Amino acid sequence: MFDIAQMIRELAIVAIPLLMGITFHEVAHGYVAYRFGDPTAKNAGRLTLNPLKHLDPMGTLVLVLTRMIGWAKPVPINPSYFEDPRKGIFWVSLAGPLANFGLAVFFYILFNLVLALQPVFSTGPAAAVLEPAMLICFYGIIVNIILGIFNLFPIPPLDGSKILATFLPGPVAGKFMQLEKYGFIILILLIFLGVFGHIFGYVLNFVYKFVL
């Protein structure tokens, strides 16, 4: 039976780390591009930590309904501003996943801090806050590790494909990136064939053992 209340509880816990993960991921792309001389994201108002600027309405709806896939609005990047386009694209593409891994470390530190406070505030109003705080931190670790790894897969338009393309000869890179028009279909197939579920199963097992 479909439990709406349970789904709302889960979404409430996951919403904070997920919104942070998406926002920091996109801002990292735009900021690094700006540092390499591209003002496109800055001019578009995308160098902001306001998650509403980065959410895609359809991508968010699909994520809520499926609890499996979704997407944000990509930060606009113009490589023609880069002095060295390959170097610029490499670091801009890598910045998003690195931001997610950095957030995972942040939530891990916060998780242990909350865990240390638990014996001190085992009763009273503070105890009611600590449990959801721990869950938010725990899911913050999981969500951001998965976001970071997922975006490193070399499937256009994911960041990993752009990173890989910077190491390929020009004509080969161009042909490879043409797969972007089929990228969404490829991702859907891999998801429903259980490829990502299998890979992330190992990731989740590692996180559970490492954190708990």
pLDDT of residue 128: 74
Reported as a pLDDT band with limits 50, 70 and 90, residue 67 is: low
The pLDDT of residue 2 is above 60: no
pLDDT digits (tens, 9 = 90+) for 29-57: 999 999 999 999 999 999 999 988 998 88
Dmax over CA atoms of the chain, in Å, equals 65
CA atoms lying within 13 Å on the CB side of residue 156: 13
Reported as a pLDDT band with limits 50, 70 and 90, residue 124 is: low
> What is the set of active-site residues?
26
Q: Are 144 and 107 in contact (CB under 8 A)?
A: yes
The pLDDT of residue 212 is above 80: no
pLDDT digits (tens, 9 = 90+) for 70-103: 678 889 999 999 999 999 999 999 999 999 999 9
- Kindly report the pTM of this predicted structure: 0.88
pLDDT digits (tens, 9 = 90+) for 125-165: 777 778 888 999 999 999 899 889 989 999 998 999 999 99
Q: How many CB atoms lie within 10 A of CB 68?
A: 12
Three-state secondary structure string covering the chain: CCCHHHHHHHHHHHHHHHHHHHHHHHHHHHHHHHHCCCCHHHHCCCCCCCHHHCECHHHHHHHHHHCCCCCECCCCCCHHHCCCHHHHHHHHHHHHHHHHHHHHHHHHHHHHHHHHHCCCCCCCHHHHHHHHHHHHHHHHHHHHHHHHHHHCCCCCCCHHHHHHHCCCCHHHHHHHHCCHHHHHHHHHHHHHCCHHHHHHHHHHHHHHHHHC
